[in-house]
């Protein structure tokens, strides 16, 4: 039996020194998958990192609108910095990925799953393929990339209000020079990835 659904999977936040990692799974019926380039300007598939903030937000809005109309499904799952420190980033990504696919609720035998980079779906998803730079080649992966990136960026902006001295709304937890300067002044927050900061001299 041929798969009925096309699922794209990608992550955001593998490299930051603070905040969670996010994984998104984007799902449409196979018969409508050919129309996915319409989400992008001029139909050109783009990796989320190569789009402006405004462009990502516009596309994410389209995703949510179409989801509201029942034309697609999109799930985003986060794994915290605490879990990353305890179990490692690979475990954290796998955990979030598995949760996303569970939330979608589609049967493994009915899904063709396309994943970016080195990502792997659970073995029961027999119709899966990992694609290097898939977020530049496959619309479903690119849309998952945008959903993960926008969702994580929004969360980091909310966390910036809770921990205002770190400017999480600006760098989103990545290890910029300004971020390291803040760390040396204020020490670690509860959402910093301590396992990513070993050897760094910080006050607390």
pLDDT for 6: 97
Domains of the chain: 5-196 (3.30.420.10)
pLDDT for 46: 79
**What is the per-residue pLDDT for 45?**
82
The two structure tokens encoding residue 202: 């910080």
Query: For residue 124, which phi and psi values (nearest 5 degrees)?
Result: -65, -20
- What pairs with residue 26 in β-bridges? 8, 74
At 48 the pLDDT is 86
Counting as low any pLDDT under 50, the low residues of the chain are none
**Model confidence pTM above 0.85:** yes
- Output the six-digit token pair for 155: 């969360």
Which of 112, 10, 106, 29 lies closest to 70, judged by CA?
29
Rounded to whole angstroms, the Cα distance separating 156 from 154 reads 5
Residue 203's pLDDT is 54
Q: What are the pLDDT digits (tens) for 30-67? A: 988 778 999 998 878 877 888 999 999 999 999 999 99
């Amino acid at each position: 039996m041929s798969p009925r659904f096309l699922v794209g999977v990608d992550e955001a936040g593998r490299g930051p020194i603070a905040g969670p990692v996010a994984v998104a799974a984007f799902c449409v019926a196979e018969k409508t998958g050919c129309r996915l380039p319409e989400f992008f300007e001029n139909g050109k598939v783009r990796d989320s990192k190569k789009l402006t903030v405004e462009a990502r937000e516009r596309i994410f809005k389209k995703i949510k609108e179409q989801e509201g109309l029942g034309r697609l499904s999109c799930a985003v799952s986060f794994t915290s910095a605490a879990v990353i420190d305890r179990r490692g980033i690979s475990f954290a990504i796998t955990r979030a990925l598995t949760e996303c696919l569970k939330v979608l609720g589609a049967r493994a035998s009915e899904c063709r799953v396309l994943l970016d980079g080195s990502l792997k779906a659970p073995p029961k998803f027999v119709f899966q393929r990992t694609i290097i730079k898939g977020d530049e080649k496959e619309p479903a992966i690119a849309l998952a990339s945008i959903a993960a990136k926008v969702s994580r960026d929004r969360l980091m902006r909310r966390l910036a209000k809770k921990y205002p001295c770190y400017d999480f709304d600006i760098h989103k937890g990545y290890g910029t020079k300004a971020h390291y300067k803040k760390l040396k002044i204020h020490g670690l927050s509860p959402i910093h990835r301590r396992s990513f900061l070993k050897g760094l001299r910080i006050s607390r």
